[in-house]
Amino acid sequence: KMTVKAVKMPCMAPNVYTEVPDGGWGWTVAFAFFFVEALTYGIIKSFGVFFNDLMESFDETNSRISWIISICVFVQTFTAPLSTVLSNRFGHRFVVMAGGVLISTGMVIASFARNVVDMYVTIGVISGLGYCLSFLPTVTILSQYFDKRRSLVTAVASTGECFAVFSFAPAITALKEQIGWRYSLLSVGVLQLGIVICGSLLRPIIVKEQEVVKAQPPEEPAETKYMLENEQTRTSIESIDSGVEITTSPSNVPGKTKAEPKSEEPKEHVQIVVDSNSTPPEPKTKLLDFSVMKDYSFICYAFFGLFATLGFFAPSLYIIPLSLSLGISKDHSAYILSAMAIAEVFGRISAGWVLNKKPIRKIYIELICVVLLSVALFAFPFASEFWGLMTCSIFFGFMLGTVAGTHIPLLAEDDVVGIAKMSSAAGVYVFIQSLAGLAGPPLAGVLVDTTQNYSSAFYSCAAGMVLGAVFLSLVRPCKAGLCHRQQQCAEQGAAEVVPDLPDDFIEMDIGKAENSGKGCDSV
């Protein structure tokens, strides 16, 4: 049935490869991911241009307006396991298309909001759920299409959000001057329907390894060869009439064993066969695998994501209010946000290029970038005029690109969980980030309202990033310790299961058989 469907609708059928293609239809998926990034995170990071308009229209404080994006990010990250379950059940394509519809619906309804609570429900809950269903399955399936080029392709494709911020911030600012913030928000919601088109391009991938080892060497000649070499051994052993046949064929060598029932002779024989490499039946795919929570390296990496998230969104939200508080005009403030986005493009591409080099320990490169990102956040409060703030924004944007474009794809590396558990790990990882996504922007807003200084928001982000760097530095030591313990357990298990037999085991039995034969002859 599946073959018939594939013939009738080839565009809907999964792509089947014998190995990870590192290209092919993956380039189309990367193209789709570029626009998904632009229409999800690009819009979220550009939402700061609506900040002052919402405060004036609804007569609300910084902290209450910050809850709009905070709830949106929380719902986006908190529902990540749901995104994983739905993707494993219905496929990535359907989930992403449904997410695009939710995002557009929430934004369009938000343009008619009468108070900030309406914004919480429309943008925060409805669009937030759509962001989760759109982004996470796209980055997951993109990682499955690439292996050697994964870091570079993901980094380049993720620059979509940077180009979106660069273009959307000035465009929305100019559009607001012409039609107002409500119709501008409505236009953004209609534009986000493009995610549905991007989702339709996400063809599933199936990687089936060729069974070359089993097909190439014919077993008959090899079996015959071993039988001839050990013919004397067989004769000697069977003459004892012990009822035990020991076959030293390649199929019975430990590590390359295969059970073969013997039905040639009617004699009662017990065949001793060690079957240590039989292929078990394929287990059913788990909708969500929480076993990654037993991995200490993943736990440390999840805490890194938890604290680092504090520094991801707040600077983009508060850079325009900070520049306005320093007496910088609205147009120049938009240019600062655009410059940050362009610098982030170069940061993502540079990180992807560096991480694509081999051999290299990618987790340490990520750690260096996180430390430098913390320095960039600490530098913002010391800027007092346009060019100082522009310099800090460019430095921050570049370092943000190195981290934001690689922290989720890095889950596929063996230092964290590996590509096999990438889907479930990404869901759990983003789910843990939800706490910081919920608390980050409102915490910064409360600090701003309390201190009447936007610098406090950047200090809180920097503190979270430093804590994230501490946990990131523990990932590799935890992984190395876990692998060492697993190796010890495997060695102990092998020692218990396989008894230590002397090398001359067969020769000893042959000797016994020959002595018995001589004894019988003498009698």
Judging by DSSP bridges, how do beta strands 270-271 and 205-207 pair with one another? unpaired
Per-residue pLDDT of the chain (523 residues; tens, 9 = 90+): 333 333 344 556 666 766 677 778 889 999 999 999 899 988 888 887 888 888 888 888 877 888 888 888 888 878 888 888 888 888 888 999 999 999 999 999 999 999 999 999 999 999 999 998 998 888 888 888 887 787 788 888 888 887 887 788 788 888 988 898 999 999 999 999 999 999 998 888 777 765 554 555 555 555 555 454 555 444 444 444 444 444 444 444 444 444 444 444 444 444 444 444 444 444 455 656 667 777 788 888 888 888 888 777 667 777 878 888 888 887 788 788 778 878 888 888 888 788 777 667 778 888 898 999 999 888 888 888 888 889 988 999 898 888 877 777 777 777 777 777 776 777 778 777 777 767 777 777 788 878 888 888 888 888 889 999 999 888 888 877 655 555 566 566 555 555 554 544 444 444 544 555 555 444 4
How far is residue 38's CA from residue 177's CA, in Å, rounded to a whole number? 23
Domains in the chain: how many in total?
Answer: 2
**Residues 164-194: pLDDT tens digits?**
877 887 888 889 888 989 999 999 999 999 9
How far is residue 155's CA from residue 175's CA, in Å, rounded to a whole number? 30
Q: Are residues 322 and 200 in the same domain?
A: no
How far is residue 1's CA from residue 366's CA, in Å, rounded to a whole number? 46
2 occurs within a structural domain: no
Residue 429 DSSP symbol: H
Q: Are residues 417 and 308 in the same domain?
A: yes
How far is residue 469's CA from residue 331's CA, in Å, rounded to a whole number? 35
Judge contact between 475 and 215, C-beta under 8 A: no
Residue type, position 404, single letter? A
Q: Are residues 484 and 356 in the same domain?
A: yes
Q: Are residues 203 and 304 in the same domain?
A: no
Give the count of alpha carbons within 13 A of 328, CB side only. Answer: 22
**Residues 256-295: pLDDT tens digits?**
444 444 444 444 444 444 444 444 444 455 656 667 777 7
Judge contact between 445 and 66, C-beta under 8 A: yes
165 occurs within a structural domain: yes
256 occurs within a structural domain: no
Residues 6 or more apart from 56 whose CB is under 8 A from it?
none
Give the end-to-end CA distance of the chain in Å, rounded to a whole number. Answer: 72
Q: Which CATH number goes with the domain that contains 429?
A: 1.20.1250.20
Q: Quick one: tokens of 52?
A: 């002052």
Q: Are residues 196 and 341 in the same domain?
A: no
User: Can you give the residue range of the structural domain that contains 76?
Assistant: 17-209
Cβ of 274: how many Cβ atoms within 10 Å? 13
User: In degrees, to the nearest 5, what angle opens at C-alpha 304 toward C-alphas 302 and 308?
Assistant: 120
Judge contact between 132 and 79, C-beta under 8 A: yes
Q: Are residues 300 and 189 in the same domain?
A: no
Give me Rg for the CA atoms of the chain: 31
What are the φ/ψ torsions at residue 39 (nearest 5 degrees)? -90, 0
264 occurs within a structural domain: no
475 occurs within a structural domain: yes
Q: Are residues 310 and 187 in the same domain?
A: no
263 occurs within a structural domain: no
Q: Quick one: tokens of 471?
A: 């946990």
User: In degrees, to the nearest 5, what angle opens at C-alpha 116 toward C-alphas 115 and 121?
Assistant: 105
Q: Are residues 351 and 460 in the same domain?
A: yes
260 occurs within a structural domain: no
Q: Are residues 160 and 296 in the same domain?
A: no
